């Protein structure tokens, strides 16, 4: 409490930065957990569906309807509807572009707020060091004014100055760790969306081929037996 005003301001600012770090950790952790759970569940439904329309019914029927995977499926159905009279190859190309844009936007939205952690982790130690340098400078000025080098006079000023560096490290270390954890989690989330995009493209490709051949979704096509197998069985 007896520190210089500059040192006090540095300590308060670092304490506020530490509070922001843990607030972002709590909010973004809850958001990431719920979003990844939604994406995993929707991707499982997408993998088990017979067609794109079937996948849309399953995903939009439950709590997964508000997730990014639902956006991918809806984008595919919208593109299929808008391009009903166009070629299949063009539909697939335009859909791949649309899905990549949805993935990129989802990654940007999920990364929102993590830049603050990177900033705190990079600058907090230097802010604390600034408070330490300022405090030690004032301590030496006090020594020159008191004209004594007694440890009881010097130690309090140096101790309060070093406290600024300690608070800076307390703010920076958790921020760096949490930022790295979130970076890995966001990369895993984007990988989930990439898997879902692949499933959507596969469903789209199968549906277009079914339309060309007039085959209803879910209908089983009997395989033509291999002639060599038939000959071996006859022997």
pLDDT single digits (tens) 17-29: 999 999 999 999 9
Confidence (pLDDT) at 14? 92
Confidence (pLDDT) at 223? 34
Three-state SS sequence of the chain = CCCCHHHHHHHHHHHHHHHHHHHHHHHHHHHHHHHHHHHHHHHHHHHHCCCHHHHHHHHHHCHHHHCHHHHHHHHHHHHHHHCCCCCHHHHHHHHHHHHHHHHHHHHHHHHCCHHHHHHHHHHHHHHHHHHHHHHHHHHHHHHHHHCCCCHHHHHHHHHHHHHHHHHHHHHHHHHHHHHHHHHHHHHHHHHHHHHHHHHHHHHHHHHHHHHHHCCCCCCCCCCCCCHHHHHHHHC
Side-chain-facing half-sphere of 190: CA atoms under 13 Å: 18
Question: Could you tell me the two tokens for 21?
Answer: 């770090």
Confidence (pLDDT) at 232? 42
Confidence (pLDDT) at 53? 86
Confidence (pLDDT) at 222? 36
Confidence (pLDDT) at 30? 93
Confidence (pLDDT) at 58? 87
Tally of CB atoms within 10 A around 128: 26
pLDDT single digits (tens) 135-167: 888 777 777 776 766 666 677 777 878 888 899
Confidence (pLDDT) at 231? 38
> 162 is in which domain, residue-wise?
5-234
Confidence (pLDDT) at 171? 92
Total domains in the chain come to 1
pLDDT, averaged per 10 consecutive residues of the chain (235 residues), comes to 76 92 93 91 87 86 82 88 79 88 90 91 92 82 71 73 88 94 92 90 85 61 37 40
Confidence (pLDDT) at 20? 93
């Amino acid at each position: 409490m007896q520190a210089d005003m500059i040192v006090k301001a540095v300590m308060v600012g670092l304490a506020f930065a530490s509070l922001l770090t843990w607030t972002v950790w709590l909010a973004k952790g809850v958001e990431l957990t719920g979003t990844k759970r939604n994406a995993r569940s929707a991707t499982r439904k997408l993998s088990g569906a017979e067609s794109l329309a079937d996948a849309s019914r399953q995903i939009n029927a439950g709590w997964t309807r508000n997730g990014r995977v639902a956006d991918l499926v809806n984008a595919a159905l919208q593109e299929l509807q808008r391009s009903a009279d166009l070629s299949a190859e063009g539909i697939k190309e335009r859909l791949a572009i649309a899905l990549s844009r949805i993935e990129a936007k989802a990654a940007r939205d999920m990364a929102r707020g993590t830049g603050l952690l990177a900033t705190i982790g990079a600058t907090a130690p230097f802010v604390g060091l600034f408070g330490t340098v300022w405090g030690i400078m004032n301590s030496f000025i006090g020594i020159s004014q008191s004209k004594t080098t007694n440890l009881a006079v010097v130690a309090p000023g140096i101790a309060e100055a070093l406290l600024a560096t300690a608070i800076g490290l307390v703010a920076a270390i958790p921020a760096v760790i949490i930022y790295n954890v979130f970076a890995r989690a966001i990369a895993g989330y984007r990988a989930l969306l990439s898997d879902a995009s692949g499933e959507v493209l596969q469903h789209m490709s199968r549906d277009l081929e079914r339309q060309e051949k007039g085959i209803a979704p879910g209908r089983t096509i009997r395989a033509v037996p291999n002639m060599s197998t038939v000959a071996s069985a006859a022997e």
